[in-house]
Amino acid sequence: MKHLSRIGSLLLASALTLSVVYQQPAQGHRSLPQETYHRAWQLVRDNYYDSSFNHRDWSDLEHKFDGSIKTNEDAYKYIKVMLEGLNDPYTRLLEPRAFQDENDAIDARIVGIGINLQQSKETKRLVVTRTIEDGPAETAGIRAGDEIVGIDGLNAIGMTPEQAAEHIRGKQGTPVQVAVSHAGTAKTVNITRQEITIHAVSSKMLDNGIGYIQLSTFISNDASREFRQALQKLSNADGIVLDLRDNPGGLLSNALEIADMLLDNGAIVSTISRHGHHTDLSSGDPLTHQPIVVLVDDESASASEILASALKDNGRGVLIGTRTYGKGLVQEINRLPGGAAIHITVSRYLTPSGSDINKVGVIPDVNEADKERQFQKALVCLKEKIATLKPTFGNNKPISSMNVIRTQNTAVARR
């Protein structure tokens, strides 16, 4: 199996390949809660991308709370206090339930009702951005654009999506009561929780010979495989619309693999950590040469931005939509003693053109805020590209195997 070309030493490659690290508790006199805190402190000390720790004396925090940590809850409390000083929203603690939820998402299976939620920046209300096709919520009549205003009698206004997920998820076969508001009309529905298989990719052939692929997340281990299957399904299309709107990111390895399926050559992404500078290059062996137009918006984040900028900067795809979210940092997930975990920002990344998009975003080639017009402009742009390439375009490589990077580690680049 051919691997992506890499620049840098084996140490730098390991530093880039972000991983879930299963650590054994250190032997010594500390209690498990104290060990949990100390391990989190140590991991940040050794791996955080900013060696100044936001201009803080990190050693001062090693034993600062020893006398106050008696329980796991104490450990979690003081880890959060410790991390607050970094002023980095992406370096954060995942308590055991949240860590399990993340692992479930990576495994592409959760027990819930099958909805994606975002909190409105203006109203702080929970908005349904997507429902799983034929899932419990969709079957109950919940649709994208609905607001979730109550969960099991609790007021959901002001809840974060993570807090709402805590209440919505539960044992398979148990009911949850969800209050929904749409255009001023409220209703309450009882929904039975089910195990949901999360599909990262949906695809279809449009009537005009254009293929459409919606990539909704990079978090699932199956995302790259599903994307390859979508390309195979649409191998006879004249061109592809790739929809990355509302995609919050996920596993870095998925972004690298999918970019490599589409790029003829060039860099995919460069990362800069305390250990040095590393660049991932495409293998130059793409699975298709079909023209591509990419749809993006202000919710396209992290791994979405890596893929979008790789296609844009290498001249492989035209970006249409609005400026993307602007997350140019990469996290490593480390398991802590006791079942919790910690996300640590280990590097920042640059696009192939050398741009740092953190808090800036990727600027599309064609700016368009209206979602329907975004799609129509994508079709017009794609038809123009097809017309230009038609005399020479036509031989797509059969998609039978995927010549892409493989790793046993789990990489995360998401919002």
Q: Which of 29, 63, 55, 33 is nearest to 336 (CA)?
A: 33
Please give the Cα distance from 43 to 45 (Å, whole number). Answer: 5
Of 101, 238, 243, 313, which is the active-site residue? 313
Of 300, 312, 327, 347, which is the active-site residue? 327
Q: Label the pairing between strands 276-281 and 267-273.
A: antiparallel
Of 216, 253, 302, 309, which is the active-site residue? 302
- Looking at residue 342, its amino acid is I
CB 356 within 8 A of CB 401: no
Q: Is position 171 annotated as part of the catalytic site?
A: no
Contacts of residue 43, Cβ cutoff 8 Å, sequence gap at least 6: 334, 342, 344
Give the residue carrying structure tokens 């974060």.
Answer: 160
Q: Which of 105, 79, 103, 106 is nearest to 92 (CA)?
A: 79
**DSSP states along 202-232:** EEEE-TTSEEEEEE--B-STTHHHHHHHHHH
Q: Is position 313 annotated as part of the catalytic site?
A: yes
Q: Is position 207 annotated as part of the catalytic site?
A: no
- Looking at residue 264, its amino acid is D
Which SS3 state, helix, strand or coil, does residue 397 take? coil
Half-sphere exposure of 303 (CA within 13 A, CB side): 26
CB 222 within 8 A of CB 258: no
Residue 400: is it exposed, middle or buried by C-beta count within 10 angstroms (0-12/13-18/19+)? exposed
User: Residues with catalytic annotation?
Assistant: 302, 313, 327
